[in-house]
């Protein structure tokens, strides 16, 4: 996954990162195609180590569908 970090937050035990990345998309991944997606990663640290990791992604809509954009 290649992407560009748009926002990051590192306070407390749950830092997060919001970025735009090219990821395998839906049924397209069967054909080896990538789609542009908004990705959020959240980690929980315990004793200086990653204890948990969550992520969520959403396809970035065409510019005409969202005039203000996602980023």
Residues 25 and 35: beta-carbon distance below 8 Å: yes
Encoded tokens for 62: 């065409």
Of the candidates 25, 26, 8, the one whose C-alpha atom is nearest the C-alpha of residue 17 is: 8
Q: If you count them, how many residues does the chain have? A: 71
pTM listed for this prediction: 0.63
For residue 27, pLDDT over 60 is answered with: no
SS3 for 30? Answer: helix
Least confident of 9-13, 46-50, 54-58, 62-66: 62-66
SS3 for 53? Answer: strand
Half-sphere exposure of 42 (CA within 13 A, CB side): 8
């Amino acid at each position: 996954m290649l992407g560009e970090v748009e926002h990051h937050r590192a306070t407390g035990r749950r830092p997060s990162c919001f970025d735009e990345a090219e990821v395998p998309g839906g049924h397209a991944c069967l054909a080896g195609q990538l789609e542009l997606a908004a990705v959020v990663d959240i980690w929980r640290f315990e004793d200086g180590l990653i204890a948990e990791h969550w992520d969520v992604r959403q396809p970035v809509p065409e510019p005409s569908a969202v005039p203000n954009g996602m980023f």
